[in-house]
């Protein structure tokens, strides 16, 4: 019996997607799912959903629940992480409200920028704890890492635990294909594409339908105002930023416009409300989304946890197909985030990069991509600068690198001067005091 451990199983909808996919996969349908979370109520809700799905599918899977992480990890074959250290309250609120006092506005704040840096400082130590337990309790298990900031987390895991089998997984590629198919009125399953870069700032280097390059149609549609259409996945977040970047840099980014807008210095600017309006940039989108999701879950929980069987359908997450490939030695291609050992030779070695990966019983094996245009490489390097300095702060326990990371962030540097950035970072470290490692708390970092 394959043991699949889910750390952060209180993320019930995400757990439902991954476990549901596994139950629909013959090689995984009889797995044991060890669900772990620090919130007993959310854990109980997830257990009820998992058991309802098992009954609905008629699979032979079993479930156990744990608030003790080591008990959940013991003997695991696969470990899935999906958690948010510090939660919406207080940490996400802090990551938005303090920068606002300096005139720095954000949209999502979970990947780059001061929000992404702070989330990395809170998250990496917990992931290191998980990895340390894995090396003792399930050293041959594969970690499927879904936590943001993805690139910082992946890089830091590899630095501290070089023998750990792990891959960072995201759904930005699948989501983008779905959005582009929606705009072009084409079946998404008929697209052929190649993507590479860093997580959330990777690009479609090739995008075709039945041998036809789709980029001319995308450019023409944007110039004539036909694209982007009303968004398919996020109603408040039209894809204007991504189309504008494509128009100037030549290629379409894998992450949504609300994300991309805060990774670059071109769209969110003090005194430029015209840019916010023209490109429909949803400032403070993530806090708004968090509140909505909490309310939505309250309604969903009533029906998902009442004991009725739950219809189980396939999601577009990579996890189940990836686990199936390893267990059954059935070759599969997924987009994965791994340390750069040469799969993108144009980017620094060791940086976390996203490329197509072959998965089979040998594990996750990245393919090599050597043809990324120089303007895209230049943009990716601006992201890697921030990621590397954050990882260096964590691995060397050097608080000064936290400040340097924020100083090198494209959006932050475009808005604030050096003294403002230093004061902002100190304020954030002070506010996050209880959620940070001792070495970077303000008394040490000042």
Catalytic machinery residues = 171
Residue in the structure block whose two tokens are 């582009």? 180
Beta bridge partners of 363: 360
Exposure string (b/e) for 382-416, b if CB count within 10 Å is 16 or more? bbbbbbbbbbbbbeeeebebbbbbbbbbbbbbebb
Q: What is each CA distance from 33 to 43, 44, 54, 307, 348, in whole angstroms?
A: 13, 14, 11, 18, 38
Show the tokens assigned to 242.
Answer: 């991504």
Q: Which distant-in-sequence residues (6+ apart) come within 8 Å of 406 by Cβ?
A: 113, 114, 117, 386, 412, 421, 424, 425
Instruction: Give the CB-side neighbour count of residue 56, counting CA atoms within 13 A.
Output: 19
DSSP 312-362: ----S-SHHHHHHHHHHT--EEEEEEEE-SSSSTTS-TTSEEEEEEEEETT
Please provide the DSSP assignment of 1-60 as one string: --EEEEETTT-HHHHHHHHHHHHTSTTTTT-EEEEE-S-HHHHHHHHHHHHHHHHHHT--
Rounded Cα gap, residues 298 and 190, in angstroms? 37
Contact between 55 and 314 (Cβ < 8 Å): no
> Is the sign of the CA dihedral 302, 307, 308, 312 positive or negative?
positive
Question: What is the three-class DSSP state of 366?
Answer: strand
Place of tokens 């916010």: 276
Residues 283 and 268 sit within 8 Å (Cβ to Cβ): yes
Q: Which two tokens stand for residue 421?
A: 């950035």
Nearest to 352 by CA among 132, 182, 154, 124: 154
Phi, psi for residue 197 in degrees, rounded to 5: 150, -145
Q: Is the preceding peptide bond at 228 cis, omega within 30 degrees of 0? A: yes
């Amino acid at each position: 019996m394959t043991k699949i451990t889910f750390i952060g199983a209180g993320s019930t909808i995400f757990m439902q997607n991954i476990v549901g996919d596994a139950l629909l996969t013959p090689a995984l349908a009889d797995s044991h799912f060890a669900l772990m979370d620090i919130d007993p109520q959310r854990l109980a809700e997830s257990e009820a959903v998992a058991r309802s799905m098992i009954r609905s599918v008629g699979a032979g899977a079993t479930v156990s629940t744990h608030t003790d992480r080591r008990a959940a990890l013991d003997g695991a074959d696969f470990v899935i992480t999906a958690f948010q250290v510090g939660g919406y309250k207080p940490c996400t609120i802090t990551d938005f409200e303090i920068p606002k006092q300096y005139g720095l506005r954000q949209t999502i704040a979970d990947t780059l920028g001061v929000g992404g840096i702070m989330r990395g400082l809170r998250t990496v130590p917990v992931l290191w704890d998980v990895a340390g337990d894995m090396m003792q309790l399930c050293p041959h298990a594969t970690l499927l890492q879904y936590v943001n900031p993805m690139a910082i987390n992946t890089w830091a895991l590899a630095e501290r635990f070089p023998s750990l089998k792990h891959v960072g997984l995201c759904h930005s590629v699948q989501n983008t294909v779905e959005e582009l198919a929606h705009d072009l009125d084409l079946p998404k399953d008929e697209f052929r594409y190649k993507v590479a870069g860093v997580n959330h700032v990777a690009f479609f280097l090739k995008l075709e339908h039945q041998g036809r390059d789709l980029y001319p149609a995308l450019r023409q549609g944007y110039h004539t105002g036909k694209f982007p259409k009303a968004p398919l996945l996020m109603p408040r977040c039209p894809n204007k930023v991504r189309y504008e970047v494509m128009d100037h840099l030549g290629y379409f980014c894998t992450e949504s416009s609300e994300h991309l807008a805060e990774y670059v210095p071109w769209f969110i600017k003090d005194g430029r409300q015209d840019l916010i309006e023209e490109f429909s940039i949803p400032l403070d989108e993530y806090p708004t989304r968090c509140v909505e999701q909490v309310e939505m879950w309250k309604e969903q929980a009533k029906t998902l946890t009442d004991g009725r069987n739950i219809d189980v359908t396939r999601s577009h997450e990579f996890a189940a197909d990836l686990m199936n490939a390893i267990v059954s030695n059935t070759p599969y291609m997924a987009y994965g985030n791994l340390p750069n050992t040469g799969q993108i030779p144009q980017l620094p070695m060791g940086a976390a990069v996203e490329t197509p990966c072959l998965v089979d019983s040998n594990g996750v094996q990245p393919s090599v991509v050597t043809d990324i245009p120089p303007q895209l490489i230049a943009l990716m390097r601006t992201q890697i600068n921030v990621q590397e300095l954050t990882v260096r702060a964590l691995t060397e326990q050097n608080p000064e690198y936290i400040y340097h990371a924020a100083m090198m962030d494209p959006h932050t540097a475009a808005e604030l001067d050096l003294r403002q950035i230093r004061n902002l970072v100190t304020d954030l470290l002070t506010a996050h005091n209880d959620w940070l490692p001792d070495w970077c708390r303000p008394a040490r970092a000042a």
